[in-house]
Amino acid sequence: MSRSVGTVHVALLSLIALVGIGLAGCEARDAGSSAQAYSREQMRIVGSSTVYPFSAYVAEELGATTDLRTPVVEATGSGGGFKLFCAGVAENSPDITNASRTMKPSELAMCQANGVTDITQIMFGYDGIVIGEKRGNPPLALTREQLTRAVAARVPVDGKLVANPYQRWNQIDPSLPDREILIYGPPTSSGTRDAFDELVVGYGAAHIDGYGEAVPTIRQDGKFVPSGENDNLIVQKLAQNPTALGIFGFSFLEENRDKIQTASIDGVEPERELISSGRYPISRSLFFYVKNAHVGKVPGMDEYVQLFLSDPMASPRGWLKTLGLIPLPADQLAAMRDQWQQRRPVTKDSLESAHARD
């Protein structure tokens, strides 16, 4: 990842932020430091490909502005990250997992069954899932119901659920272009896929007569193509294919506006303010989860989290915004700092409440 002339500026401000917000965490760090340290000197971070650019940037800054080793950050997908993270409290298990959705209660249960019982959830910003295509195409306006009809394995036709017959967009609605349906999307291990299934397909099925209580699965006849955890690969495919659509995070749109444009969803464009307010229909929060049992055993965990949540990084004036992050308001960011300093553990009740609100 390239580093700009602002690195020194970030380093100085980060140092101030770390000193300022770090005092409250001294007691917690001192308590953790009495634990037997692991032999590895680098943090290991896994999880969401959407969160990866932000996490990797903070990791690079930590390595560049302190004596700590730069953490290793891997894009494994949100679901894949939780599986690795929840495997146990051990030197070879990850310290932090990134997620573009809330942890599921079943994932917390998996963690607890393997002894990972003390986890702090940090929400650090917002993101929108966008439907992109090659720049230069006529503007495209889609609804979530139309998207559901395009991607579902079975759709209602004449009152019956049948294998999806739609091959072209104008077969779904005459107002849509006469183009073949071809959608590059995230795999099942991705948090983006989970959010799309819930916010688009789940919503669409609930608003289309004929589905009843059923939530459709995604079609596997070549019209929806799972394209790996790297959203940049989807962007590259769209730049080469003017008929295809792609599903990916807003931050990747920010980096590729010269090549990619987006469809409006239910009449709303994917803009920062509309995503953060929730008016854009496919909006979501971004998270990382910290294995507190590793604090004090692996160098840099507290420093990494504090740097991530510092004003120079995560505020509306921070550097992560330049990478496409939609930051939290100041009061919410302050609440997340306090959540980390207090090491508040995520609970089954809090996760169930979050999923009920979603």
Tokens representing residue 12 in the block: 């100085």
Asked if residue 144 lies in contact with residue 204, where contact means CB atoms within 8 angstroms, the answer is: yes
Q: Do domains 7-127+285-357 and 128-283 have the same CATH topology?
A: yes
What's the CATH superfamily of 7-127+285-357?
A: Periplasmic binding protein-like II (3.40.190.10)
Backbone angles phi, psi at 86, to 5 degrees: -85, 5
Asked if residue 126 lies in contact with residue 276, where contact means CB atoms within 8 angstroms, the answer is: yes
Give the C-alpha separation, 28 to 59, whole Å.
Answer: 22
What is the structure's pLDDT at 326?
Answer: 94
Fold of 128-283: D-Maltodextrin-Binding Protein; domain 2 (3.40.190)
What is the structure's pLDDT at 352?
Answer: 80
What is the structure's pLDDT at 90?
Answer: 95
Amino acid at position 113, single letter:
A
Averages of pLDDT over runs of 10 residues in the chain (358 residues) are 43 46 44 68 95 96 96 95 97 97 95 97 96 95 98 93 97 97 93 92 94 85 89 87 93 86 97 93 96 97 98 95 92 97 93 69
What is the structure's pLDDT at 229?
Answer: 74
Q: Residue ranges per domain, the chain?
A: 7-127+285-357, 128-283
What is the structure's pLDDT at 267?
Answer: 97
Give the C-alpha separation, 113 to 96, whole Å.
Answer: 18
What is the structure's pLDDT at 231?
Answer: 79
Q: How buried is 114 (Cβ within 10 angstroms: 0-12 exposed, 13-18 middle, 19+ buried)?
A: middle
What is the structure's pLDDT at 5?
Answer: 38
What is the structure's pLDDT at 259?
Answer: 92
What is the structure's pLDDT at 358?
Answer: 55
Asked if residue 170 lies in contact with residue 177, where contact means CB atoms within 8 angstroms, the answer is: yes
